[in-house]
Amino acid sequence: MSGVYARHIAVLAASAAFAATSGLLTAPTAQAAMPTPVSASTARTYLSELTVAAEGSSSGYSRDKFPHWITQSGACNTREVVLERDGTNVTTNSSCAAVSGTWYSEYDGATWTAASDLDIDHMVPLAEAWRSGASSWTTAERQAYANDLTRPQLIAVTDNVNQSKGDKDPANWMPSRAAYKCTYARAWVHVKHYYDLTVDSAEKSALQSVLNNC
């Protein structure tokens, strides 16, 4: 791990907790209020700086190695914080579960009124991260990654759309909603650059194609 990355990880928990607390206190009404990714021009620069390498093996991978939906504040875990952040007029119960609200899924343009219809997508999937460098991280580092509320890494989207994405990279899957593809590519590169993850050649080409048209 680089020194810069180590410093990133050291401050991640505190910054994520602050972001989560701020979101709960201010009860934002904006839909899909994922942290804004870097600009297209910055994303193009970041993409040029990423190490290009063949995707690693999935051997040893398990979602359990990325402990996620940890407690963020009070009774609220990461999933519940994102649901409240990304929805409109969200009401929660004493356990912090969303019992009402409206959610717009940026990936497909669908609107939902039941939290059960939504998944919280990891922009760069956990298995993709594993194959791109996270296999060498500590469990604490992988936990920070899987619950990152500060980078554009988590977003509430239609559950079956998230399931169709699975662990695919942009060479094999992009949101069907054309208006969101630029934001998606910017966010993907932002996350990979921050965590010093590699890209394979097909993935890089797909990202370049999108970013060049942003």
What percentage of the chain exceeds 90 in pLDDT? 85
- pLDDT confidence of 15, banded at 50, 70, 90? very low
Looking at residue 33, its pLDDT comes to 84
Residue 116, class by beta-carbon neighbours within 10 Å (0-12 exposed, 13-18 middle, 19+ buried)? Answer: exposed
Q: Token digits for 80?
A: 């519940």
Give residue-wise pLDDT tens across range 173-211: 999 999 999 999 999 999 999 999 999 999 999 999 999
Query: Using CA atoms, how far apart are residues 209 and 49, in angstroms rounded to an integer?
Result: 16
What percentage of the chain exceeds 70 in pLDDT? 85
Q: Token digits for 198?
A: 């590699």
Give the predicted TM-score (pTM) of the model.
0.85
Looking at residue 11, its pLDDT comes to 35
Looking at residue 37, its pLDDT comes to 98
DSSP state of 38: P
> In Å, what is the CA distance from 110 to each residue of 89, 141, 167, 179?
17, 33, 21, 13
Rounded (5°) CA angle 158-161-164: 155
102: enclosing H helix or E strand = strand 98-104
pLDDT at 214 over 70: yes
pLDDT at 18 over 60: no
- Cα Rg of the chain (Å, integer): 16
Looking at residue 210, its pLDDT comes to 98
Contact 52, 198 (CB under 8 A): yes
Contact 112, 31 (CB under 8 A): no
Average pLDDT over all residues of the chain: 89
pLDDT at 13 over 90: no
Give residue-wise pLDDT tens across range 20-47: 333 333 333 444 589 999 999 999 999 9
